[in-house]
Chain A
Amino acid sequence: AAGVIQSPRHLIKEKRETATLKCYPIPRHDTVYWYQQGPGQDPQFLISFYEKMQSDKGSIPDRFSAQQFSDYHSELNMSSLELGDSALYFCASSSAVGTQYFGPGTRLTVL
């Protein structure tokens, strides 16, 4: 069965650079969620989209923005990167009130 696809899987950036993470949900899933997992921590919710509209927002820095496109894929844009942004970023998708399925994650390293 198709799963959530995230790209890239690994990303290395310098401080103050920008990064764009992409998420392709499971086909026919209309909702996308983004989570950030710092070293030694549990994943924390950042933001979610339902039918291309922002549906919920967590502790997402103002330097980050995200959107969901007409094909339901989502992008997380991160600007003015800081060392503390180094983390695993997970995307999850769901349909209606169904279970969230998690992608493999993108490991971002900021140097």
Chain B
Amino acid sequence: GIQVEQSPPDLILQEGANSTLRCNFSDSVNNLQWFHQNPWGQLINLFYIPSGTKQNGRLSATTVATERYSLLYISSSQTTDSGVYFCAVEPGGYQKVTFGIGTKLQVIP
């Protein structure tokens, strides 16, 4: 099946710093999602982004489908950004989503 790699696995940032999270995937995908899992375990969808660039406030994401990677940018990080960020891919219709192992982000004041 499709492989999803995320880096870095862990990241500690000072509040106000910027960061880039990376997701590599091994095959073409129908869709790609970025999630933030909050301390209560909820998966909060950040972006549906099979290709191109999207922005939402301090967050933006870029997927280069031809090169099989996606980047999540967090600017001016805040302590509430702490948590685990997952990249998840859907190879095609009616197929399971495969998650990466996640990036655990800790933003310190």
Contact = CB atoms under 8 A, between A and B. Distances in A.
Interface of A: 31, 33, 35, 37, 41-45, 48, 50, 55-56, 58, 88, 90, 92, 94, 96-102, 104-105, 107
Contacts of B43: 43, 90, 102, 105
A86 B96 CA distance: 22
28 contacts: A31-B94, A33-B96, A33-B97, A35-B97, A42-B86, A42-B99, A42-B101, A43-B97, A43-B99, A45-B96, A45-B97, A50-B94, A56-B94, A58-B96, A88-B41, A90-B43, A94-B94, A96-B93, A97-B30, A97-B92, A97-B93, A97-B94, A98-B93, A99-B33, A100-B33, A105-B41, A105-B42, A107-B41
Given A42-B101, A97-B30, A99-B48, A48 B94 contact: yes
Contacts of B35: 102
A70 to B, nearest CB: 19
A31 B43 CA distance: 19
Nearest to A96: B93
- Of A90, A99, A105, most buried by chain B (CB within 10 Å of CB) is A99
Contacts of A31: 94
A108 to B, nearest CB: 11
Given A99-B33, A102-B43, A107-B41, A45 B98 contact: yes
A35 B33 CA distance: 15
Interface in B21-72: 30-31, 33, 35, 41-43, 45, 48
